[in-house]
Copies of this chain bind each other. A is one copy, B any other.
Amino acid sequence: MEVTRKEAAQLLLAADDILILCHRNPDGDTMGCAHALQHGLRSLGKRARIRCSDPFPSRYSFLWEGEAGQDFAPRFIVSVDIADEGLFGEGLADCLGKVDLAVDHHPSHRFFARNTLLEPDSAACCEIICLLLREMGVSLDRQAALCLYTGMATDTGCFKFSNTSPRTHRLAAEMMEAGAPYAEINKRVFETKSAAEFAAEREALNTLEVHCGGQAALIVLSRELYSRCGVTEAELEGIPSLPTRLEGVEVGITVKEREPGSYKISMRSVKRVNVSDVCRQFGGGGHRYAAGCSLSGSLDEVKSAVLKAVEAALA
């Protein structure tokens, strides 16, 4: 059932030995939520730990610096920024059907938890965690502020995208005042690339194709490119925002090869198209302006299926 922020706070205050779940292929928002929540719960004397199917990218190591590991059998499970149990990933299969509280901001959320705190107007799930921790009486120190700022910044393209609200800005200002080293975070998250990433991005741009009379642009990231440049998919997380930078493009598509014959699609919309709707046709989802789905087949089949759906959405 849906709960209010106050009810969610009461559930957490009453709980202990709390396991926090992140979504697979973790981004700054799910990691920021989890680490801020873990830090806040521990500051109240509770035991808390985090699990995720995929390893956390080292780029974000500042989120967990100085936090000790804790080992315990969980008695309460919270998921953060997870819209759907399908995003748990294989490593969290044992948690399916066992979530006590889901905190999320995705409009496409599919209720899977005993209790759900859903605030779809929040640009980042970290906004909700920020207000939830405050509701719980946790005073936000530098470490919590750093985690929460990271989620707010990463989910909004550093306050650039349409999901950013005046509240996002005001909460970011508070996180800065609480000591979040924002410039270092932004530099590390948005503006630092290894020589390998630099090279891979240049190569990825060379695959750019324009379709639908200039309204769609598509980039392909092949496993061959990953291995030749020595980069992982997670290190190229900025690529999906590149195709829409081309003037006139309404929908940007990034086709990432996962395994031979298996592709992850990241879709971005500039304005007109709801790409969450497009991706839902393939069993995916997300937000109006940023969504994703998975497809199987040859590269040509996958591209043509996706482009057909995008063309229909553009029409």
Contact = CB atoms under 8 A, between A and B. Distances in A.
A187 to B, nearest CB: 6
A44 to B, nearest CB: 27
Interface in A207-256: 208, 241, 244-247
Contact of A198 (B165, B198, B246): B246
A178 to B, nearest CB: 10
A15 interface: no
Contacts of A165: 176
A314 to B, nearest CB: 17
A165 B270 CA distance: 28
A177 B164 CA distance: 12
Interface stretch (A111-119, A167-175, A301-309): A167-175
A246 B187 CA distance: 11
Given A169-B169, A170-B169, A198 B245 contact: yes
Interface residues of A, number: 39
B172 A160 contact: no
B245 A160 contact: no
Given A160-B186, A173-B169, A176-B169, A191 B245 contact: yes
A62 interface: no
Contacts of A247: 192-195
Given A173-B166, A244-B191, A183 B159 contact: no
Interface string A178-197: 00001100110011111100
A205 interface: yes
A202 interface: yes
Contacts of A173: 166-167, 169-170, 173
Contacts of A244: 191
Nearest to A289: B183
Residues of A contacting B: mostly: helix
Given A183-B162, A202-B205, A241 B177 contact: no
B159 A195 contact: no
Given A166-B177, A195-B246, A247-B194, A159 B187 contact: no
A273 interface: no
Contacts of A190: 160
A161 B164 CA distance: 18
A138 interface: no
Interface of A: 153, 157-162, 164-167, 169-170, 172-174, 176-177, 182-183, 186-187, 190-195, 198, 202, 205-206, 208, 241, 244-247, 270
Given A167-B173, A193-B247, A202-B205, 13 more contacts: A153-B160, A157-B158, A159-B172, A160-B183, A162-B183, A164-B176, A166-B173, A166-B176, A169-B176, A195-B246, A198-B208, A198-B245, A198-B246
Which 5 residue pairs are nearest across A and B when measured between Cβ atoms?
A162-B183, A166-B173, A169-B173, A169-B169, A160-B186
